[in-house]
Amino acid sequence: MDWPYWGDVMSDSGPPPRLSPRDFSVQPAALSPAYRSSRLRAPERKLVALPGQLGDLTGPAFGHDLPGAADHDLIHNFAAAGASALGPRIIVHGTLRDESGRPVPDALIEVWQANAGGRYRHKNDAYLAPLDPNFGGCGRVITGADGSYSFLTVVPGPYPWPNGGNDWRPAHIHFSVFGTAFAQRLITQMYFEGDPHIALCPIVNAIPDKGAIDRLTARLDMGRTVPMDMRAYRFDIVLRGPDATMFENGTGG
């Protein structure tokens, strides 16, 4: 879905820009045979555009509660008192910008991920890796006046999935970016620089544009590390334009 109000409501650094047409060539095809699940999900008929209703464009934006003081800290926000999540501790940070490079402040970013062993805290996740009792795997943060965001977590582990018999998902973190209303939501995944599973993953390989894959890959940022404690990775998110981040639900425009 497009973001009709990002420029004039959420950015105060000038008039809203003229939106560039989406480049659908960077989006994966609905049917990607190597990604087995797409065989069942791909539509058999032409998509039909539905006009937005008033309720889709007026809220809610942030759900029932505003983010709490520890929502950005996945290392501790589910942990028992005095405990912390297991795994390599990291900082993930970046900026949220529009296609003209202007920062987008006050936007809600939600994240969720597997634990350091590659297992989600979900009843349907049957992977043999153990659950971490001190890791919930989700958090949220609101971007600052300069469009910046930052959260603390542990490096998620890769995990096998029943696609082709021996396929593994790369280590990744899911991102959900909200606009000014609940229906203005974009979803993507962040991968980690140097992960050999990226090039082998059928889901990643469904993306036809290598530049788009590269923009989904976070870079090690030694300038933001905490010595003797945490490494840092930078992941910038661009909503639209030639440098846009590839969003999983952005194929409709």
- Which of the residues are catalytic? 120, 159, 169, 172, 174
What are residue 105's phi and psi, to 5 degrees?
-85, 165
SS3 annotation, the chain: CCCCCHHHHHCCCCCCCCCCCCCHHHCCCCCCCCCCCHHHHCCCCCCCCCCCCHHHHCCCCCCCCCCCCCCCECCCCCCCCCCCCCCCEEEEEEEEECCCCCECCCCEEEEEECCCCCCCCCCCCCCCCCCCCCCCCEEEEECCCCCEEEEEEECCCCEEECCCCCEEECCEEEEEEECCCCCCEEEEEEEECCCCCHHHCHHHHCCCCHHHHHCCEEEECHHHCECCCEEEEECCEECCCCCCCCCCCCCCC
Q: How far is CA 66 from the centre of its chain?
A: 20
